[in-house]
Amino acid sequence: MTPPERRMVAVVTAPPSRPCGFHLRRAAVPALGLVLALAGCGSGGSAREPAAASAAPSTTWSAVPGQVAVPETSVAVPDHADPKRLRIPSIGVDGSLIRLGTDASGVVVPPEVAMQAGWFGGGAQPGDPGPAVIAGHVDSKDGPGVFAKLGELKKGEEVLVEDDAGVTVRFVVDQVVTYPKDHFPTASVYGPTPDAQLRLITCGGSFDQSRGHYTSNVIVYASVR
């Protein structure tokens, strides 16, 4: 059974110092409604845009301010084990995953540690239909971050996500693209897909000292093989 779509609107604050911080802004995707869109990196304020509501039925998801209240449905969301480990052999990534949630104001909190990657728990589970999103820092004031080499990934290379029940989902990289933060590809990153997809996101481009963040995002698109 295909799980119902899960929708959340949130912004992500940047941790202190000179990290690759993440900001999420509201954006509209046809037939999807309110979704997440990575707008940039650093310590500046987040951008917001009006979002179009979707008429498609879904499960209730309104416990945190900033989320979207939608009608309750009789279709149950599967209770999966959370992803707990991320391995990307070709670039030397092998570490734990934390679940990224929101604070009381509906703001998603990114990993505090530069070498820690996180899975956004408001989206798809890795291996379920739809795009699962994992984010990590490219660096910090102290050195490289967990996704320092993300932009070096090549088509066909493996990304392995293991859950806390010991089940591993194997993804294969389809493409790696760098986008200016003000041209984030909301629809292609967060739009619905009939199969299981993965998006790995970090900062890229040059570091804007005056604004305190990177100018671009590196996005890896991968799918189950």
**Least reliable range by pLDDT among 6-10, 101-105, 202-206, 212-216:** 6-10
Q: Cα–Cα distance between 204 and 216 in angstroms, integer? A: 5
Question: Per the domain annotation, does 124 fall within a domain?
Answer: yes
Question: Per the domain annotation, does 4 fall within a domain?
Answer: no
Whether the model pTM is above 0.75:
no
Question: Per the domain annotation, does 5 fall within a domain?
Answer: no
**What is the span of the domain harbouring residue 137?**
11-224
Q: What percent of the chain has pLDDT over 70?
A: 63
Q: What is the pLDDT of residues 37-46, one digit of tens each?
A: 333 343 333 3
The band of 20, judged by pLDDT with boundaries at 50, 70 and 90, is: low
The residue that leads in pLDDT, 56 or 115, is 115
Question: Per the domain annotation, does 110 fall within a domain?
Answer: yes
Position 190 scores a pLDDT of 81
Positive or negative CA dihedral for 119, 113, 151, 209? positive
Q: What is the pLDDT of residues 45-95, one digit of tens each?
A: 332 233 333 333 332 332 233 333 333 333 344 567 899 999 999 999 999
Question: Per the domain annotation, does 2 fall within a domain?
Answer: no
- Mean pLDDT over 175-184 rounds to 92
Question: Per the domain annotation, does 209 fall within a domain?
Answer: yes
How long a stretch of residues is the chain? Answer: 225
CATH number for the domain that contains residue 69: 2.40.260.10
Question: Per the domain annotation, does 1 fall within a domain?
Answer: no
Question: Per the domain annotation, does 154 fall within a domain?
Answer: yes
- Mean pLDDT over 32-36 rounds to 31
Structural domain count of the chain: 1
